Amino acid sequence: MLRALTLAIVAVGLASACSKQQSPSTQSTDAGWLTGGHDAAQTYHSPLKQIDESNAGRLGFAWDYDLATTHGQESTPVVVDGVMYASAPWGFVHAVDARTGQRRWVFDPKVDNAITSKVCCGIVSRGLAFSEGRVFTASIDGQLSALDAKDGKALWRVDTIVDHERGYTVTGSPYVADDVVVIGNSGGELDARGYVSAYRVDSGALAWRFFTVPGSAQGPFEHPELEQAAKTWDPNSRWEVGLGGTVWDGMAYDPKLDLLYVGVGNSALYPRKLRSPSGGDNLYVSSILAINPKTGRLVWHYQTTPGDQWDYTATQKMILADLKIGDRTRQVLMQAPKNGFFYVIDRATGELLSAKPYVPVNWASGVDEKTGRPIETEQGDYSKGPKLVFPAPSGGHNWHPMAFNPDTGLVYIPALEASAVFWVPDAPYVYAKGGINIGAIYAFPAQQAGDWGLESEHTKHLPPLSELAKGQPDTTIRGFLRAWDPVANKVAWEVDTSGQWAGQMNAIWNGGGAMTTSGNLVFQGRSTGALHIYRATDGHPIAAIDIGTSIMAAPMTYELDGVQYVAVMAGFGGALGGVHPVGTAAQRYGNAGRIVTFKLDGGAVPKPAELRRETSVRRPAVERFGSSADIEAGNALLKRNCARCHANEGPGAIPDLRWMSAETHQQFEDVVLKGVRAAKGMGSFAGLITPAEAQQIRAAVVDSAWRAYEAAQNTHKSAPHVPESSPEVNQ
């Protein structure tokens, strides 16, 4: 029996509270989708059940909508009173008739394209918020806007960034908590100092701001919590780097407890001994914060990864629920952060109720449930040499939303099984203002991973994987849709979502966010372009609808005029999403973003036209140049400044630099240092790279192109295909 004998799920009541707070709408919470996660509890669950396990195979095309971008789609739209509001890359908002897909209005945030040089993980948006007839949206340059839901006109707009010289961007969704709208920011891998800001819903006036890490050991401290936090840092910490702790994704709000829950990101620099030499927990990195939204004061905190040094963010989506655990009904917060443990926490007090691994973990042997602290192992310490660590910086779970179904009592996690080799480079760390500041290097034991893999140039000095992996879990990279029982602390069922990419990076990016319904269904998209539907109780596959566009975002559902619809925003991108592996819809059909909507007995989903692609590797456009030292330096510069976007492993939304045209080679310094292609997403790196270093990067790229070409000639096999009409060829 799944859990009827062991668990009773008590209605949280947050959905109705969300309905009252979020909108004066006449549409019920049950029929609409009022926040990114459906409700204030962020469950990604809908009680609708017109579409159920008996008829979901009849789902077909209702309408689609062109988002006019090729950047990745990570957002789940909201539907209020028959209108769908969807956030898109850069901070665009599209208002669409939810019955027909007809455009109502579009908001253009007028972003300064130069911001792209500070973007960590793709030009994306993870959602918007709705309250009292207003749509709240954040643009990637940090502008928070309140829009009139009727026509999209800005009612107010504020700049949420405190220091534009640093590497701040905003990719997360705003959240509404009572009478404030709350927004965080990204940039932990650059030199951001994390914080979350709250603004009055009606006026945009700043209500409060909570910094997640101190700015110095002595102050001044912007609020009292920082004085206590400073005691967990070495007085000689690298304060100038910002130290990370950015709030770039998950939050949730309990209107009954009047508590706002905020997930805090990783530390920067990564290595403890470099960041905070004498150690310490380094509050509040990798923590969950419970904040009073009226005052901005901390009520409780729980740190998932004290002294984080593996990019183990606690920014992953949080879900609020009431669970019967033992003989008590507990108000809980659930999260599956990057560090590999699934946490169930009393959301009123911060008491840890359970923390068990949901993926392979070797940096800690477990979590002491009395102290709440992880029990670290030597395997996680790479200060004296390279170590293979589980999970990888991609985490056991990344940004892709998980979902909770109160009928089954299961949480559906887009889980990732991956490791990475961490090491500290020999060269001394030098702070780069506004640039990447990690202080460590990591590589995945993955095939075809480019600069991110153990096959890359900068990993040749490492011991062989067979030695690093001795006694450790299987290093084969895989993805799963994992149904987790949060009371029994075990997997109820799982589906391998790796597809053809087991062992490759796309194994962990193939599966998108999850959504579940009271029709006993779970929905999840794939990079292949298929929307998969499973029975929620046991994972039995029911249907897979091919839409011809890669899917990363979580789907959603709503009902209008007695008709239930399912919708998803489709488009590939984000971290490492610049490459479109063979087999993905983006590789086959291109990556034009769109919203695709389904209903029972709809038609076949229209697909984009297939792309024409070359079948051989062309000769590089220019001859090799530069010394071996230049090429080595160029590879190091590529890894630090470029690899987060340019994986250089084949066709994709982001150009493979190896196949630049001769014209682009001539313009290289203008592109890199003057930002002449900022409108295409390539901002200026003038403050981070010198002209001489730009040429070293180009020399390394040319050398890589020639090596790929020569290998293809020698083996009579084609290297990664390049689209005939790709930016690499025609830019």
Just list the catalytic residues: 311
Residue recorded with tokens 């940004």: 399
Beta bridge partners of 99: none
Other CB atoms within 10 Å distance of the CB of residue 713 = 13
The Cα-based distances of 312 to 48, 101, 390, 419, 632 in angstroms read: 35, 39, 11, 13, 30
For residue 696, which of 640, 625, 601, 593 has the smallest C-alpha distance?
A: 625
What tokens were used for 225?
A: 């919590």
For β-strands 318-325 and 328-335, DSSP reports them as: antiparallel
Other CB atoms within 10 Å distance of the CB of residue 400 = 25
Taking each helix axis as running N to C, give the angle between helix 691-715 and helix 628-637, from 0 to 180 degrees, rounded to the nearest 10: 100
Please check whether residue 286 is in contact with residue 304, taking contact to mean a CB–CB distance below 8 angstroms: yes
For residue 633, which of 690, 675, 706, 683 has the smallest C-alpha distance?
A: 690
The string over 166-187, giving b where at least 16 C-beta atoms fall within 10 Å of a residue's C-beta and e elsewhere, is bbbbbbbbbbbbbebbbbbbbb
540: Cβ contacts below 8 Å, ≥ 6 apart: 534
What count of residues does the chain have? 731
Q: Which string of DSSP letters, residue by residue, matches 444-479? A: BS-BT-GGGBTTSGGGTTSPPHHHHTTTS-----EE
Q: Which string of DSSP letters, residue by residue, matches 142-196? A: SEEEEEETTT--EEEEEE--S-TTS--B--SPPEEETTEEEE--B-TTTT-B-EE
Please check whether residue 438 is in contact with residue 242, taking contact to mean a CB–CB distance below 8 angstroms: no
Q: CA 687, 693, 699 angle in degrees (round to 5)?
A: 145
Say how far apart CA 389 and CA 392 lie, in whole Å. 6
